[in-house]
Amino acid sequence: MVIEESHKYGDIVQGAFYDSYRNLTLKHIMGLTWALKYCSQSQLVLKIDDDIFVNFPLLDQYLAENYPKSTSDPLIVRVNHKMIACFVQKRMKVLRNTTSKWFVSPNEFPEDYFPDFCSGWGYLTTMFTINDLLKQVPNNLPPFWIDDVYVTGILREINSDIVLESMNKWFNIDVLNLYKWIEMQRFKYKWRYLFSNTNGDIALLQSSFRLNKLCYAREEKCMCCFPPFKRLEENKLLKPIKPHADIRMYKISN
């Protein structure tokens, strides 16, 4: 079935490892390696979990305003070649509770706090950054199993030139906001966030994409923006969010 879909749609990138929860770091690194090899001319790469609602119309606007490919305006700063833009997690405490899904033993990670890293929900980065991150992957040591911590925290810290750019205010981490937008405010308000958690609710994900598409199709009737929720600034998640990662390429048009 997998081979048949690959031949028919060409949409599968497969690695030689068991696809398990503890091997997500291998999947993450494999995805970045594939992107660097086959999409090296892309200006930006969006890595996203498959259960995250992405507001693509707003994302297109955000990219055009913040990462212009070319501009005559000297006040507009072009893309920082060594950056990761994301929901930044600062000083997250390592969980030592053996009953936790995210339990980390001192042998796995001896420090009490993780280095600053990006939530696994999704992030924007450049090929320059990916290239530098992959250079830091050791050949003879197993990677740390929490992939977002390992890739955007541990590997990034080795290369201190890579900057984390906070997009925290553009992330909706409360899935109830998304339910309320769909159930209470149908076709009245635009969704104000770029990325939204769905807690793996595929029906919610599909409804969100459909409603958002309809709202932008009848833009004159969709007010900005969905009340009464305020964008989050520097809120912390209580635990790492584990992805089933997808890699999406963006090439900024002229």
Name the band, by pLDDT with cuts 50, 70 and 90, for residue 201. very high
pLDDT average, residue stretch 224-238: 52
pTM beyond 0.85: the answer is no
Does residue 229 belong to any structural domain of this protein?
Answer: no
Question: In Å, how far are 50, 65, 188, 216 from 245, measured between CA atoms?
Answer: 6, 26, 32, 27
Give percent of the chain above pLDDT 90. 54
Strands (E), 23-91: 44-49, 52-54, 83-89
Please indicate, yes or no, whether residues 111 and 202 belong to a single structural domain of this protein.
no
Please indicate, yes or no, whether residues 177 and 239 belong to a single structural domain of this protein.
no
Structure tokens of 147?
A: 């992939």
Quick: pLDDT tens for 25-56. Answer: 999 999 999 999 999 888 899 999 999 999 99
Please indicate, yes or no, whether residues 60 and 163 belong to a single structural domain of this protein.
yes
Q: What residues contact 105, with CB distance under 8 A and at least 6 apart?
A: 96
Number of domains in the chain: 2
Please indicate, yes or no, whether residues 119 and 184 belong to a single structural domain of this protein.
no
Least confident of 69-73, 78-82, 100-104, 230-234: 230-234
* One-letter amino acid of 254: N
Please indicate, yes or no, whether residues 83 and 187 belong to a single structural domain of this protein.
no
Please indicate, yes or no, whether residues 105 and 56 belong to a single structural domain of this protein.
yes
Please indicate, yes or no, whether residues 176 and 72 belong to a single structural domain of this protein.
no
What is the structure's pLDDT at 132? 94
The answer on pLDDT for 243 being more than 60 is: no
Tracing tokens 């899935």 back to the chain, one arrives at: 175
> Bigger pLDDT: 227 or 225?
225
The whole domain housing 215 covers 171-221
Instruction: Let me know the angle formed at the C-alpha of 197 by 193 and 199, rounded to the nearest 5 degrees.
Output: 160
Please indicate, yes or no, whether residues 71 and 114 belong to a single structural domain of this protein.
yes
pLDDT average, residue stretch 60-82: 70
Does residue 23 belong to any structural domain of this protein?
Answer: yes
Quick: pLDDT tens for 98-119. Answer: 999 899 999 999 999 999 999 9
Quick: pLDDT tens for 141-164. Answer: 789 999 999 999 999 999 778 999
Please indicate, yes or no, whether residues 30 and 85 belong to a single structural domain of this protein.
yes
Please indicate, yes or no, whether residues 186 and 152 belong to a single structural domain of this protein.
no
What is the structure's pLDDT at 12? 85
* One-letter amino acid of 132: D
